[in-house]
Structure 1
């Protein structure tokens, strides 16, 4: 997720540079595109998801699926879980979202803490004073 957000941030920075060097009507027309890119960056990075568009290098030999970060080929219309990420492959590309929420996106009462179990890909909110007692996020 971090690498995806970092790449999108770099792309946005380049768009912003181009945008600032335009003038008048060109700047007005481009402002919507910059806004949409920024919005996509914010949504993607906060939702802990990423999408990699499928690359067609040779139209005579189209891809047979999506290749994950480990180099494994997954068939179209397949889904799997790897490193607590729900992933799926479509003819458009590879999409993955974290099954574990970011601690910064969950409101946890002061007396509670977020406990992550990466083996089970689960999260629970427990009392700081007794991590056996669950408490509810506000």
Structure 2
């Protein structure tokens, strides 16, 4: 096995481990053509095509087309976890891809957040 193939396999394993070690990320499988050739582009489920290295944001996920035809996506927002859940609630704004934490009995008033993930 050539050094380039070993390096390629190591890079794929590392990319897989990084993507799956963070619960806020996911990676798609490449779509092989009928000849089972390694793809030269990335295809989303809706048919949208991206070239290797392309980056975009969709549904609050930052995505990137990586070889061999995989799409890697991670959340582009932080998830507040350190707040008083009895008195407060978190609400996700899909327009800004962000959470606000507000009081349940007075939604106009925000709550203190001590920690977040993502």
User: Which residue of structure 2 lines up, in the alignment, with residue 5 of structure 1?
Assistant: none
Looking at secondary structure, tell me which structure has more strand per residue. Answer: 2
Give the corresponding residue for 2:49.
73
With normalisation by structure 2, the TM-score equals: 0.62
**Structure 2, unaligned stretches of length 5 or more?**
1-16
RMSD: 2.8
Where 2:47 maps in the other structure, the secondary structure is coil
How far the C-alpha of 1:68 sits from its partner, in A, is 1.1
TM-score under structure 1 length normalisation: 0.54
Structure number having the greater helix percentage: 1
CA 1:78–1:46: 2 relative to 1, 3 Å = closer
Matched, 1:107 2:82: yes
Q: Which residue does the alignment assign to 1:50?
A: 26
| Equivalent residue for 1:98, pick from 58, 75, 92 | 75
Distance 2:49 2:109 in 1: 42
